[in-house]
Structure 1
Amino acid sequence: MNKIINTMSKFFKLVCFLLVGFSIQAQDAAKAKSLLDEVTTKVKTYENIVIEFKYALSNPKENINQESKGNVTLKNNLYNLNFMGVTKIFDGKKVYTIVPEDEEISISKYDENDDSAVTPSKMLTFFNSGYKYSWDILQNIKGRKIQYVKLIPISSKDQRKEILLGIDVQTKNIYNLIETGKNGTRTTLTVNSFKTNQPISKNHFTFTESKYPNYYINRLD
């Protein structure tokens, strides 16, 4: 009888431990989601956003180490991106990819119903669906408190293992994004400058073909 009582006691302790663990995980997930919601709400209050960033990619097994800088201007779903010598403009209807090195321009339509399409404007809100959330570490980076939220892709087909999103606790703006692939590739995007409501030209998101008289234009649609 004592053995049965002891066994039952251990069983109930284990159940209680698991329930507490699940409760903590649920609280962490809720806390993480709440912070992400604050980021999304804050982004929607800006008329426009101008970001300068650093991009780093590494894979020790493949001996790959790459770094580059870029900048992007966002207004609603419009964007003007300059990265690795290429300019990409979205005017609300079409995407223009300008490659000066090859003197070539590609023009394609944007399908707003294609949820898989990744655009610079989605980079600040991509986390709203398709992920499991958990509360991660808090770091002090150059006097700024950066709270990390871990995102785990729900789809088993996703080639990303996890994403760490660093959020400035005070401003509720994204500081960096650290993406780890299932193949060991690590990609880090760090925001060096985050400016909002800047005076920008009304033609900033407009492609003017006459500026590129000698370019080959590839109309994909």
Structure 2
Amino acid sequence: MHNVIRVIALFLICLPLHAQDSHKAKHLLDQVSERIKSYQNIVIDFRYSVSNPQENLNQESKGNVALKGNLYVLNFMGVTRIFDGRKVYNIVPEDEEITISTHDDQKADVLTPSKMLTFFNYGYRYSWDILQNLKGRKIQYVKLHPTNPKDKTKEVLIGIDVQTKHIYNLIKIDRDGTKTTFTINSFRPNQPLSKNHFTFTESKYPNYYINRLD
């Protein structure tokens, strides 16, 4: 009986602590979102890795992306992807091929460039995680669990620079054991980008085969 009472007491004590931690985590993520919204544009250099020991999967790549609202230009794994607000352009120099399709926000992955810094605002439960000191930077981690039980993602860890309120890295762990890590090497807001930076100019690719999907 004493053990049962002790367990109940611990449970009741932990309830408000969990709620407080969840509130802190959400508040920090809200600060990140507000900071991102305050910038006219953002240019990011990043490192991306994916691994799954059971499938003998271990890949790492680097890339960069320029963001302005929901517009983006992504350079990754030899492909340039441009989203101008309506169409998505995939440019593959190696094959001299361009694929053009209409953007469908309902089918888009939550981690597309236009959403990768704010995807966490919906569909997750939040909890406060560890604080790490990385080369003088204090990185506070927030853990996310999908609210949809059918989601293939088990959990997501977001590392946030406490001082700048910028995302340092993102670690996504799937239920099948796949681990995806996105680390921001440089974060440069309000860059002097040209007016047509997010515009696809067909005349720049005179010898390319253009595949229009719709």
Same-fold status (TM-score > 0.5): yes
TM-score, normalization by structure 2: 0.95
Matched, 1:26 2:23: no
The equivalent of 2:170 in structure 1 is 177
Q: Which residues of structure 1 form unaligned runs of 5+?
A: 1-6
CA distance in 2, matches of 1:100, 1:93: 22
Number of positions where the alignment pairs a residue of Structure 1 with one of Structure 2: 213
Amino acid at match of 1:46: Y
CA distance in 1, matches of 2:24, 2:107: 26
Q: Which residues of structure 2 form unaligned runs of 5+?
A: none
The equivalent of 2:96 in structure 1 is 103
TM-score, normalization by structure 1: 0.92
| CA apart distance, 1:85 | 0.4
Superposed CA deviations along residues 191-210 of structure 1, whole A, max 9, x for unmatched, are 00000101011111010111
The equivalent of 1:61 in structure 2 is 54
Amino acid at match of 2:24: K
Amino acid at match of 2:43: V
The equivalent of 1:155 in structure 2 is 148
CA distance in 1, matches of 2:82, 2:108: 19
Runs of 4+ in 1 over 6 A off after TM superposition: none
The equivalent of 1:145 in structure 2 is 138
RMSD: 1.4
Bigger radius of gyration: 1
Q: 1:43 aligns with which of 36, 39, 42?
A: 36
| CA apart distance, 1:14 | 3.2
Q: 1:91 aligns with which of 66, 84, 89?
A: 84
Deviates more, 1:19-28 or 1:136-145: 19-28
CA distance in 2, matches of 1:68, 1:32: 30
- Describe the SS at the equivalent of 1:156: coil
Matched, 1:17 2:5: no
Amino acid at match of 1:104: E
Matched, 1:136 2:138: no
- Describe the SS at the equivalent of 1:123: coil
Superposed CA deviations along residues 176-218 of structure 1, whole A, max 9, x for unmatched, are 0011111111111100000010101111101011111121111
Q: Calculate percent identity across the aligned residue pairs.
A: 67
| CA apart distance, 1:30 | 0.6
- Describe the SS at the equivalent of 2:31: helix
| Higher helix proportion (structure 1 or 2) | 1
